[in-house]
Amino acid sequence: MNAMIDPQDLTGASYSAVLYALVGATAFLLLGVSWVGRAWKLVVALAAVATLVGACQAWDSRSAWLAAKSVSVAYPYAGWIISMPVQVVTLFFLAARGGKVSQALFWRLAAVSILMVLVRYLGDAKLMVPTLSFLIGVALWLYILGELYFGQMDEAVATSSDDALKRGYFWLRTVVTVGWAIYPLGSFIVSFTSAVDDGRLSLTYNLAEFVNLIAFGLAVLATAMVSADGDRKAAA
């Protein structure tokens, strides 16, 4: 890559910052897999997969931005259609540490989260009626939130005696509720206001990744480590 980032190019700088942060978070989470008990290794590894995909997305988007000062909607969605379902599945396996959750729920969550991202992409890419795309995307997101707050996963965590698991689940669920709100908001801006992304929306998405991917992953690792430590103390 021969293009240089202009010192006043906040969007280009944000792509670099989130790329480096995601690479560092991925390395840290992969190291963390060896720090937790066997029962938590899959959960932490999935969080690392999400940040790794985010790093690849940031690399591609950064290259496109430096080359043309614009980024096709295909770039972020190519990453989100993998990273967001992986995060939902991460929450599923984390909740399963507290109690029984059904296999059918796993497949429903995986399918709904993939469809949520796909439908939003079709709307933003003008391959589907934007209004319909927006409404379906929000409905699918609300379904995921319904499962997190009122479904089997919430019941499994609520009945658990593991306080670290309860705290971790609370904060991770909050990320999916508050942090993920930026995505339908971005779709609304693009689809209903005819706004052209001059870099500010991309900058906002990049800043959001520090919470939605990096903080999410670190919270998963912290929950796994504290919970495993509590298990060891209880056993002693």
Q: What are phi and psi of 57, to 5 degrees?
A: -65, -45
Determine the pLDDT at residue 7.
82
CA distance 122 to 187: 10
| Whole-number pLDDT of residue 236 | 45
Q: How far apart are CA 83 and CA 18, in angstroms?
A: 15
* Residue (of 234, 227, 214, 215) closest to 52 by Cα position: 214
Looking at the chain, the number of H-run helices and the number of E-run strands are: 10, 0
- Calpha distance 22→216 (Å, rounded): 12
Asked if 222 and 168 touch (Cβ cutoff 8 Å), the reply is yes
pLDDT in tens, the chain (236 residues): 456 778 888 999 999 999 999 999 999 999 999 999 999 999 999 999 999 999 999 999 999 999 988 888 899 999 999 999 999 999 999 999 999 999 999 999 999 999 999 999 999 888 999 899 999 999 999 999 999 999 999 999 999 999 999 999 999 999 999 999 999 998 888 777 665 567 889 999 999 999 999 999 999 999 999 986 655 554 44
| Predicted structure pTM score | 0.93
pLDDT at 199 (0 to 100):
84
According to the model, what pLDDT value does residue 41 have?
A: 96
Look at residue 53 in the predicted model and tell me its pLDDT.
98
Domains of the chain with CATH codes: 10-235 (1.20.1070.10)
Residue identified by tokens 């190019």 is 9
